[in-house]
Chains A and B, each alone.
Chain A
Amino acid sequence: MNLKDRYAIVGIGYTPQGHIPERTSLSFHVEACVNAIADAGLKKEDIDGLICYRTFPSASNEGPLTPYLVAQHLGIAPTYLSQDANCSRSHLQHAIGVLESGLCKYVVLSYGHNAFSSDSMRRMQMERGADDPVFGHFGAAAGYALAARRAMHTFRTGPETWKHIAVGQRKWANLNPGATMVEHTMTSEDYYSARWIVEPFRLFDACLMTDGGRAIVITSAERARDLRHPPVLIMGMGQHNPSYDVHQATHLAGPTGAKKAGEMAFKMAGVTLNDIDACQIYDCFTYTVEITLQDYGFFGPGEGEDWFKGGTIEPGGRMPVNTSGGQLSEAYFMGLTPLSEAVMQLMGRCGKRQLGSTTNTQSPEIILCSDNGAILQTHSCIILRRS
């Protein structure tokens, strides 16, 4: 059964984002969902599937964030309800599975978190990895830093490569009025002068912690035709889950799950790298962008610095990457940061950062997206096209 071009993303929901105190994670989920449903031109009664991204440990003044709670606050009783317990990134496959099976007609996928203003992330640091804290090991930054260090040992990479990613994405954020870092420019000198967090990562190698939410609506290509915006079609999807914990993983320097997931997605879409106009890559850390693009085949191991330098991914560049600013400079909403930006670009709704003549880049027909979870343990590749 060929799923190519049979399902579409038809609506995007934004919320205020950045530093928004006094808001619960639930409130961001609900606001994002409401806005996505309205953006698609649908009513809440149309929504029969709700899939929520994982929740981090709730803030100490907020109860567990379940999909029941999100559905309750949306006033819906879906026929399919799901939430990932950790970080595996199968959401789009879930959505298409329940659409293809006939269980649902319109599925909302949502994420919301008060990461910046609440104590949620501090609670998360302490809970991660049963005995890791015994040795002073906490959180995802250090996990990805372990992977990045191994990559530095295995092939030529490091801050000289990663600075191009941090600086390039910041230039996109400077064109995005919604981006947390819209008013903050960054030079290579700024990148190098930032403090270390967990070496080899400096502050600007790490994604933002964001208060906010994001949601998208997925339906069949057929139903999509009657809705408000030109639908964005899902051409290809692939997923691979190496699963091994960073402590035992042998894929830290690649090939990560991106390799097999990418091959599956390109095969389904029937296109090659030459057909890709831009990329929206899950960028929890700069190194994640490098290893993902490397595993997709844009360059060989150690060739990243040469590939990135000269503004390749920036406005005016030959392969724009993370055109909202991404998670490094716009806002962190797990896979919905890259996915929603790809959809907005393909719908032509991106204002000053719009790909095409506005930013002296290729007019986007096909955009390659990734989603990635845990410490490189799960990877989804999604290829989207304009209808």
Chain B
Amino acid sequence: MSAHEQYAEDLTLYALEALEGEARANLEKHLENCSGCRQELEQVRGDMAMMAMSATGPKPPQGSRQRLLDAIAKEPRGLAVVAGRAPRFNWWAAFGWAAAVAMLVVVIQLRRENWALRESVEQLDSLVGKQTIELENARRVADAITAPDAQQVELVTAKTPAVPRGKAFYLRNKNSLVFVASNLAPLASDRIYELWLLPRSGGPPIAAGLFKPDANGSASVVNPPLPAGVEAKAFAVTLEQESGPHDSPRGTAVMAGGA
């Protein structure tokens, strides 16, 4: 097989170790598969050997032979280490190192994520703990006000006849309303009290729960469904037909109070 003419000049430069960059890479790739060009390369090196003959003449300095033989005597054959020679590149070793570096990067990244997650969990734990305490306090307040067995004592001026009273606790931003009433007159069986929230915006009254007093005239409404974030101007209680409708006040007002 003959050499490819288009590679002839590059083969000469390659043999002289003067071919660089892309041209060198391309030629080496070609040489892997072209025996003709490999043979031509060997021939060019033969030409180089003859060129070297033009330099023959001087003998090595005295002592050089003995120094070499002494050096050889210290080196086991086949294990000589030649100073200045670049080691052959070991792709497997390089792959191993690359894999180790990649694993290290992954481990560092995972540790960072782990720390971030742990921090988030600790923050959430703290928030849950705080909210649990707030909820427990709120429940105790609500229980004290609304529990059936809670003692409710109202102090009024002596000998004043008992009049219906109501108290509304409204937290607009949490949409929470607790209403407790006392001294309510007993109701006919077809009647019911209805609590109303009167918006500060001037809109129509918003139904805030139906209730009937117990035997002591006490009643409560806790967290009825309400539209979110309505600012209250006042609360009122009306006496309504139990059968309804209950979407707007139709009966007589029993009590009212401004917020």
A binds B: no
Residues of A at under 8 Å CB distance from B?
none
Residues of B at under 8 Å CB distance from A?
none
